[in-house]
Structure 1
Amino acid sequence: MPFPEAEFDAIVTTARRMFRAAHLRITDNARHLAQWRSGRFARGSEAWLLGEALDCLARTGEAPHDTRVGRQRGRVLARYARVLGGERPEHTWQRLFLTRMEAVALGVLLLAGHGWNLSVINRLKVPQAAPDAGNDGPRTYRVELEKHKRGAGRYFETRNLTDDGAASPGRLITQALEATVFARAAVHTLSPGTDRFLIWRSAKAPLEDQPDETRRRSGIGVFGFGISGVTAKQWGTQQGFSSSPFRRGRRTVNTLHRRAPGQNSQATHDRVYTLTDPQVRPDAIPVIAEAAEAVVTQARATVLAAELRERADPADQPTATADCHDYDNSPYPGPGGGCGASFLMCLACPNARIHPAHHSRLAHLHHALGNLRTALDLGQWDRQWEDGHARLEHLKAQLGTAVWTRALADVTDTDRELIALLLNGDLDP
């Protein structure tokens, strides 16, 4: 179930505060490094030494250290430790790299802003900025979402996010790129071609006894990729929250905040998030009722909603009266999903497709409904069959007298048997 609104707001506020502090820290040091590389500081000065230490950090992931100790990570050289303020991580590598928990905070903000789940966030590749008219113009990023649950051939979906101001969808992408720029560059040096977006620097040395494939999937050297479930839970516990922010957080975003699909179809969003959530159901009742009434009104107002085609589409599903083009997104959904309407209502459905193979069967249905009119009480016929008969009248007018007459002459025993089953209610869902 979703987080209570106050708790989720506190989670997002905490994540925003943590990532903002990290972003400011890294961009401030990046600015100093850029000035050092441009030759702005006098050689040997305190500012120059700090710039040289930052340059070493950017290139190697380590502050300048004493290599004579015979270990990979010796003590920071005294002159650099002095200008850095010490040898602890907050004085050295944290100047240019996110920590593991700061990466979680960034992930929470991506979740809150876009409704993406943790697996999608973990697989994000570095967004590519489209060229704009000038250096000061808005930047539009092409973000590629990788969703393995969709199955082979449908893994990827792209979103365009534009940064044109503080509250715009692309602003967080800009800030994330700035906060991970040095980590991405260092990883590229270690393993050219790596294009992971969410990269953080570990306080520990790499685990050399792990298989190469495992290390490459979770990180390279002292750099880690993405957010594990354990790390997400640790972040929640450390910040005083009841659980990991991601699974419940995504449900909260999609049902209570965005109220729209984040990375799913509208049908999946409604089935999995909206209709199953107890906080949403009371608000949804009048909306569903209004939509259902609109559907009924539209069905009655539009005599024939099915689309006429010259030939069948192999991807469509045959029904008793037409072919269905999109069973899973019916305007008449059943309790368990899919379509809950009778086959006679196919004539009122925009997902239905009618082609010449249906003409004889529908012409026979039209004729049979006309015969029923003389055999049933008029009120009963009107309630049960009038709308279907009217739609068939409309179809007859669209096809023309010659086509309709030929269709009646082509009626087969299979057509007669199928229509008999339909009229007797044997094909009702």
Structure 2
Amino acid sequence: MVLHYNTAGRVKEYDFSTLAVAEPVQRSLAALFAARCDPNHWSVHKSSRTVWHHLEKFATFLAAQETPPATVEEFTGALIDRFWLTMASTGSNRACFRSVCSLLAQDERLQSGPVADALARAVPAHKSRRQSYTTAEFELIKLEARRMFRAALLRIEDNARHLDRFRAGEFNPGSREAVVGEALELIARDGDLPRIKGPSGQPYVPKKYRKAVGGRGTEVTWQRLFLSRSEAVALGVLLLAEYGWNLSVIDRAEVPRATPDPGGDGQVTYRILLEKRRRGGGSWYETENVTDHGAGTPGRLITEALTATRFARAAVERLKPGTNVLLVSRTKRVGNRIADKDRHPNVGPFYFGISHDDVKWWTKAVGLKGSPFQRGRRTVTAVERREPAQHSQETHDRVYVLPDKNVQEAAVPVIADGAEEAVVLARKTVLVAELRDAPAPEDEETATADCSDAESSPWPDSTGGCGASFLLCLACRNAHVHPGHHPRLALLHQSMEGLRSVLPKPVWQRDWGDHHARLEDLKRRIGPGGWAHALARITDTDRSIIDHLLAGDLNP
């Protein structure tokens, strides 16, 4: 028996005596498996469960041999080669072969000779056939998700207003409106209306509430204040479409932290913590910042998600304080224990995140074939955004962009016009200012560089001087940049990176994209060591100047 504790401390058992191999082989496989059942290696049960299924396939293969090996010492290179021949046909079987070989290679008895060579076989990746959605297909999926979630949001907001009026004492005691308000108070507190047992022992909603709310179905009882699990999936699809998050990130998303806008105009910026476990320990987390500027802006969906889940999250907080999960819905299957112990257990009638079963129910309800999350994420990152989302640029290009047919078709006119556009863009955004080792005595210092001749500026003002922003100094042939400017320019580059995380992409690209590109060119020329040295030499004067520059206080 092998016990695997995940990072949440929940345990899953594996009985190796059920494998169809000799007992010494069972014990050897169990020892190798147990060595990896550590939260620092396999943090979730999904990892151990996947390898367990692979070992079951391997055991079935061994049992089918003419003379099954009695011990691990009897494993041979020829045996592993035969196993490869049975596994080479599909991507999932290749993954099984890699997994089993990786585990067996940890056994000291198999680390030399032909068997070691066979275990070290290079297994080419199976080419995925998954493609992105067309624009029309993805718009239909988003439309279905938007319809379902929007209806749920309006329903919850409408009932929330009724509850607020009840709490304020606006309804006459005993009136239908007052009884509905009383019912909403109970639903908000307990997750449902009270049930009493009838003569047959079947629980039912008291007549008082049943008559007021219009029945006893979920749509007129607890769904007044809570999302159903299918509605939570619809919200998850919208989060995918808006931010490019995959299902595992959405499933575990925590409640974002809200920071009021310092300008006092009512805007709110959300700091979102994302968990990406496939990166390995130490690199699981990253943050995104989005601002709610109003309808249609990136932060508005977060505001709506918080609004739609606020009653459920409040009820969960009363039942189990500290449960900081964004997607909370109400489940019909109250009391059922979740078999998947990697998932957050239910708290009372409340369910967390989105499971694969939830996605299957939703796709069937809206008439889709297959989960929209994997193809949808490919669509968002490769076709719509054309930039990585929670993965590296190399993965983005290799997995999402290059094999995708929709991307290839869209690239044809781009490639046709690419050469001319690239030249224009290069002239526009590369660093034009001259790099020097030391300042020249005759130059005049500006906020970002030294100027040798302001009167011959490419951007003259009405007096014959320079009318350009100091941000354009790096695009001027009259400007000189020496090491004394490097700390200030490194800080400017760092500040622009910060602005990228809080501004809508089109706004940032319009206002800061060209300036950032020139600073990127400067960073490349200086090199990693010189840039790190520049960041270490930033002074309070540099910070003050950059603050004024970004605020527009130094504009002509």
* TM-score of the alignment, normalized to the shorter chain, above 0.5: yes
- Residues 203-231 of structure 1 show CA distances to partners (whole Å, capped at 9, x for unaligned) of 122225x68x9397242221111111122
Aligned to 1:330: none
Q: Structure 2 counterpart of 1:44, which letter?
A: G
Question: Is the Cα–Cα contact under 8 Å of residues 164 and 171 in structure 1 kept in the other structure?
Answer: yes
User: Please, which moves more after superposition, 57-66 or 135-144?
Assistant: 135-144
Distance 1:143 1:296, change over 3 A: closer
Question: Is the Cα–Cα contact under 8 Å of residues 132 and 379 in structure 2 kept in the other structure?
Answer: yes
Q: Work out which of the residue numbers 94, 101, 117 in structure 1 matches 2:246.
A: 117
Question: Is the Cα–Cα contact under 8 Å of residues 218 and 226 in structure 1 kept in the other structure?
Answer: no
Q: Structure 2 counterpart of 1:74, which letter?
A: P
Gaps of 5+ in 1: 305-348, 356-429
- The equivalences for 1:50-129 within 5 A come to 50-66=180-196, 74-129=203-258
Q: Work out which of the residue numbers 276, 287, 305 in structure 1 matches 2:403.
A: 276
- Residues 344-372 of structure 1 show CA distances to partners (whole Å, capped at 9, x for unaligned) of xxxxx8697799xxxxxxxxxxxxxxxxx
Q: Work out which of the residue numbers 365, 372, 375 in structure 2 matches 1:248.
A: 375
User: Please, which moves more after superposition, 279-288 or 196-205?
Assistant: 279-288
Distance 1:35 1:205, change over 3 A: same
Q: Work out which of the residue numbers 323, 327, 330 in structure 2 matches 1:198.
A: 327
Question: Is the Cα–Cα contact under 8 Å of residues 134 and 406 in structure 2 kept in the other structure?
Answer: no
- The equivalences for 1:253-264 within 5 A come to 253-264=380-391
Q: Structure 2 counterpart of 1:114, which letter?
A: Y
Aligned to 1:237: 364
- TM-score normalised to the size of structure 1? 0.65
Distance 1:232 1:351, change over 3 A: farther
- Residues 291-339 of structure 1 show CA distances to partners (whole Å, capped at 9, x for unaligned) of 998799999x9xx9xxxxxxxxxxxxxxxxxxxxxxxxxxxxxxxxxxx
Question: Is the Cα–Cα contact under 8 Å of residues 234 and 244 in structure 1 kept in the other structure?
Answer: no
Distance apart, 1:163 and its partner CA: 0.8
How many Å separate the matches in 2 of 1:253 and 1:271?
A: 16
How many Å separate the matches in 1 of 2:528 and 2:308?
A: 52
How many Å separate the matches in 1 of 2:238 and 2:220?
A: 26
Aligned to 1:19: 149
Q: Structure 1 counterpart of 2:259, which letter?
A: A
User: Please, which moves more after superposition, 57-66 or 229-238?
Assistant: 229-238
Question: Is the Cα–Cα contact under 8 Å of residues 123 and 146 in structure 1 kept in the other structure?
Answer: yes
- The equivalences for 1:349-428 within 5 A come to none
Question: Is the Cα–Cα contact under 8 Å of residues 275 and 285 in structure 2 kept in the other structure?
Answer: yes
- TM-score normalised to the size of structure 2? 0.50
How many Å separate the matches in 1 of 2:410 and 2:204?
A: 61
SS at match of 1:250: helix
1:45 and 2:175 equivalent?
yes
SS at match of 1:162: strand
SS at match of 2:273: strand
Q: Structure 1 counterpart of 2:372, which letter?
A: P
SS at match of 1:10: helix
- The equivalences for 1:257-336 within 5 A come to 257-284=384-411, 287=415, 290=419
Distance apart, 1:74 and its partner CA: 2.7
The share of aligned pairs that are identical, in percent, is 49
How many Å separate the matches in 2 of 1:183 and 1:135?
A: 30
Question: Is the Cα–Cα contact under 8 Å of residues 198 and 204 in structure 2 kept in the other structure?
Answer: no
How many Å separate the matches in 1 of 2:161 and 2:407?
A: 47
Aligned to 2:310: 181
Distance 1:350 1:187, change over 3 A: same
Distance 1:186 1:124, change over 3 A: same
SS at match of 1:206: coil
1:35 and 2:194 equivalent?
no
Q: Structure 1 counterpart of 2:377, which letter?
A: R
Q: Structure 2 counterpart of 1:41, which letter?
A: F
- Residues 72-127 of structure 1 show CA distances to partners (whole Å, capped at 9, x for unaligned) of x9311111111110001011001011011101100000001111100000110001
Distance 1:354 1:47, change over 3 A: closer
How many Å separate the matches in 1 of 2:529 and 2:246?
A: 40
Distance 1:159 1:9, change over 3 A: same
Distance 1:143 1:215, change over 3 A: closer
SS at match of 1:42: coil
Q: Work out which of the residue numbers 128, 133, 138 in structure 2 matches 1:3.
A: 133
User: Please, which moves more after superposition, 27-36 or 219-228?
Assistant: 219-228
Aligned to 2:271: 142
Distance apart, 1:190 and its partner CA: 1.6
| Structure having greater relative contact order (Cα 8 Å, sep ≥ 6) | 1
Question: Is the Cα–Cα contact under 8 Å of residues 111 and 249 in structure 1 kept in the other structure?
Answer: yes
How many Å separate the matches in 1 of 2:172 and 2:193?
A: 20
Question: Is the Cα–Cα contact under 8 Å of residues 3 and 252 in structure 1 kept in the other structure?
Answer: yes
Question: Is the Cα–Cα contact under 8 Å of residues 162 and 168 in structure 1 kept in the other structure?
Answer: yes
Question: Is the Cα–Cα contact under 8 Å of residues 256 and 272 in structure 2 kept in the other structure?
Answer: yes
SS at match of 2:334: coil
Q: Structure 2 counterpart of 1:185, which letter?
A: A
Question: Is the Cα–Cα contact under 8 Å of residues 378 and 400 in structure 2 kept in the other structure?
Answer: yes
Q: Structure 1 counterpart of 2:341, which letter?
A: T
Distance 1:130 1:354, change over 3 A: closer
How many Å separate the matches in 2 of 1:353 and 1:83?
A: 70
How many Å separate the matches in 2 of 1:95 and 1:353?
A: 57
Q: Structure 2 counterpart of 1:179, which letter?
A: A
Question: Is the Cα–Cα contact under 8 Å of residues 64 and 80 in structure 1 kept in the other structure?
Answer: no
Corresponding pairs, count: 308
Distance 1:46 1:134, change over 3 A: farther
- Residues 246-286 of structure 1 show CA distances to partners (whole Å, capped at 9, x for unaligned) of 01111011111122222223333222211221221244465
How many Å separate the matches in 2 of 1:165 and 1:6?
A: 26
Q: Structure 2 counterpart of 1:142, which letter?
A: R
Aligned to 1:224: 351
Q: CA RMSD in A?
A: 3.4
User: Please, which moves more after superposition, 76-85 or 128-137?
Assistant: 128-137
